């Protein structure tokens, strides 16, 4: 990492805005089909998926507040 760069979620690389955009898009798509998925996968799996997506966004994204 070069001077002035912020570490990513694991502290090993700077944040990648394209990655954050992809995660936000995945979360939005997930929210659109969440009810249908809940009927097929069950509430605990849905909670796990939401948790993973939310953790990916977490506080590591520089232009978004913590979720």
The stretches of 1-67 forming alpha helices (DSSP H) are 17-41, 43-57
Of residues 17 and 3, the one with the higher pLDDT is: 17
Q: So what's the pLDDT on residue 5?
A: 52
- 61: burial class by Cβ within 10 Å (0-12, 13-18, 19+)? buried
Q: So what's the pLDDT on residue 1?
A: 47
Q: What is the mean pLDDT of residues 32-41?
A: 85
Q: What is the mean pLDDT of residues 22-40?
A: 85
Q: So what's the pLDDT on residue 10?
A: 58
Does the pTM exceed 0.85?
Answer: no
């Amino acid at each position: 990492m070069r001077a002035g760069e912020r570490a990513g979620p694991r502290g090993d690389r700077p944040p990648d805005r394209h990655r954050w955009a992809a995660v936000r898009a995945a979360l939005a798509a997930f929210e659109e089909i969440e009810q249908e998925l809940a009927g097929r996968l069950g509430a605990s799996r849905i909670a796990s998926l939401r948790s993973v997506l939310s953790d990916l966004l977490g506080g590591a994204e520089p232009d978004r507040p913590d979720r």
